[in-house]
Chain A
Amino acid sequence: MIHPFAVVGLFLVVSLIFGVAPIALAWLLSPKKLNPRKQQVYESGNPTFGETWIEFKPQYYLFGLAFLAFDVEAAFLFPWALAYNQLALYAVFEAAVFLGLLGVSLVFVWRKGWLEWM
């Protein structure tokens, strides 16, 4: 009997093979006639100008932080959802408070207008 986690590991290796294989095959089969014009970065037919690795709006980062808060919360909820059948009603209310606090703070930032995309 192989351990289930070993099977998962094997499957990950197999899926990596399936990821590499088509590109390796294409690399073997495809023509290799490169020239500088072919390798230009596409910019609607114009030569590229300016800096490409530019910085973006910090707002993306803030939404990322907001996501992280909910992400951690969701991670805590998985064991709770598993134990749900054995819990009493008050335990469910405790989890509701847990969720509610984040929900209230979401509503708070929403009312303040901090969720608007600028």
Chain B
Amino acid sequence: MFAGQVVFLIIACLMLGAAVRVVTSRRIFHAALWLIGSFFCVAVIYMLLESPFMAGIQLFIYIGGIAVLTVIAIMVTKGGMHPDSHTLGNGWSAAIVSISLFIVMAWTITQLGFPNEPGMPVAEEGLALLGAALVDPGGYLVPFEVVSVMLMVVLIGSLYLGRER
């Protein structure tokens, strides 16, 4: 348990450091790379919470999908690749927004009653249970199909915007 806490502290510090670098980097490409580092640390924290599937999702979707997309977006934006193009136009308002967001989230987390007994029993076939619940009409069938509709909208919408005009 102690070793786990040490690893958690190290990873949390790395994650916060990377997150700070995302904001302070002069080059926006560096910011994107630090963002990936931060995502990776989140994946490690999921591993520490004994939730390997979430860790895999973190790598698979956030790093393999969203971060790639972010980098591509930077590379296709006019002037986005330019060194030192990253200027903080209005630092104060950004700071106020993010600090108030932080306060709201921290307050929400403290209000939630998290179970705090150590070593919550994990179902043996947890992932298969999740899979069964996804297609169970009494479970999450409707959200599951709605996700599909949403992805359909993403696919059609994005290619519609980029069509030849």
Contacts and interface: CB of A to CB of B under 8 A. Distances in A.
State yes or no: do A and B touch (Cβ within 8 Å).
yes
Interface of A: 5-6, 8-9, 53-62, 64-76, 78-84, 86-87, 91-92, 94-95, 97-99, 101-102, 104-106, 108-109, 112-116, 118
Contacts of B60: 71, 74-75
B155 A105 contact: yes
Q: Is the interface of A mostly helix, strand, loop or mixed?
A: helix
22 contacts: A5-B48, A55-B75, A56-B76, A64-B68, A64-B73, A66-B158, A69-B154, A71-B64, A75-B61, A76-B147, A79-B53, A79-B127, A80-B134, A91-B132, A94-B135, A97-B148, A99-B148, A101-B151, A102-B151, A109-B156, A113-B163, A114-B163
Contact of B50 (A5, A92, A94): A5
Instruction: Classify chain B's interface size.
Output: 35 or more
Contact of A72 (B7, B80, B147): B147
A55 B80 CA distance: 8
B162 A82 contact: no
B17 interface: no
A114 B131 contact: no
